[in-house]
Amino acid sequence: MPGFIGREQHSVDEKGRLLIPARFRRRFASQTNESGDSPQSRVQVIYVFKADDGSLELYEPSVWNQKEEQLLKLSDFNPDERLLTTLIYARLDQTELDRSGRIALSREMLDHAGITKDAVIIGANAKMVVWEPLRLERLLSDNAGRFAPLASRYI
Amino acid sequence: MPGFIGREQHSVDEKGRLLIPARFRRRFASQTNESGDSPQSRVQVIYVFKADDGSLELYEPSVWNQKEEQLLKLSDFNPDERLLTTLIYARLDQTELDRSGRIALSREMLDHAGITKDAVIIGANAKMVVWEPLRLERLLSDNAGRFAPLASRYI
DNA sequence: GAGAATGTGGGAAAAAGTGGGGGATTTATG
DNA sequence: CATAAATCCCCCACTTTTTCCCACATTCTC
């Protein structure tokens, strides 16, 4: 099963709607029928997570659910584990693809990413990452020098 | 069965009523008929629990009952177990959805969470968590640096 | 270049959220 | 026990948001 690969830039309209590129949507289509839905009712849910670095991460249900299984093991009464759970769910949201292949991002999510007009969507295999274009540009140029050292350490 | 996911902010009116977001209410609807009620009389009960961290936890009956099964195993005559039972039930309350999809929170519950005007409701899979907005904000910013370490330790 | 697929925007209808009036029931009080 | 006071619900009305749908422009494919 291939992941999301590639980078595209699209506009976010006044209603906060962001188009998911067609090539990414095709990947969804191939694995919707987990629960034997009728062709009509296949609603494509997408999880949205506010990442620490100021981007938004988009997950398919099957991928997010895998992460969530880890969360379910955590105790409500261990302070550290409870805090982690809170930190995660407070940053998480859920949305659906409309018939034009867009998702509606909440004002809060857009603010977190600093998105007003345009957004870059980067395929990162299991997830998609959404950036405000200038912010991404700055991150890349600010850290251009770190690529080689990091790469040589880890790959 | 998908859980509660997402974060919303709503106002609590002067009567102490808090709206349960429509998308969360829809999950209730899909599993009301446990006891074979007539369509008319399906009253949606919600359990409210005062959490240690200053939030309120909202549970569906089916989920709370599962937790309660653990409690029923505890002995009334073992001091520790008896104390635990007391501590839990002393923090627990019960309320119902009215026809507008709201629940009435008692003064005591509101005070525990420090809620006066607004409240944030966070979907946390099996339960919903209610926060006073500023209190949540403070928790999140105070612990922003702890997310990465905790996440890497537990997930 | 024609037709299909993709991307963008917006209008209208429906749903959700908010606040408050008023009747019924419960609780307090003389 | 009667009456007053308070509380609790149910319903209505208004505002805002979301959803659904369509139209059009652009790009891609053959």
Tokens of B45: 């009960």
What does residue A81 show for φ and ψ, rounded to 5 degrees?
A: -70, -35
Q: Does A147 touch chain B (CB under 8 A)?
A: no
Mean pLDDT score, B60-89: 92
User: What pLDDT score does B14 carry?
Assistant: 85
Q: What CATH number does the domain containing A141 carry?
A: 3.40.1550.20
Find the nucleotide nearest A102 (Cα to C1′): C7
As a whole number of angstroms, the distance between CA A133 and CA A135 comes to 5
Residue B2 contacts residue B91 (beta carbons within 8 Å): no
Are the Cβ atoms of A86 and B139 closer than 8 angstroms? yes
Are the Cβ atoms of B150 and A87 closer than 8 angstroms? yes
Per-residue pLDDT band at B31 (split at 50, 70, 90): low
Find the nucleotide nearest B25 (Cα to C1′): C16
What does residue B79 show for φ and ψ, rounded to 5 degrees?
A: -55, -45
Give the range of the structural domain holding residue A16, as residue numbers without chain letter.
4-154
Q: Does A89 touch chain B (CB under 8 A)?
A: yes
Render pLDDT for A65-79 as a digit per residue (tens, 0 to 9).
Answer: 999 999 999 999 999
Q: To the nearest whole percent, how much of chain B has pLDDT over 70? A: 90
Are the Cβ atoms of A94 and B5 closer than 8 angstroms? yes
Q: Does A67 touch chain B (CB under 8 A)?
A: yes
User: What pLDDT score does B28 carry?
Assistant: 75
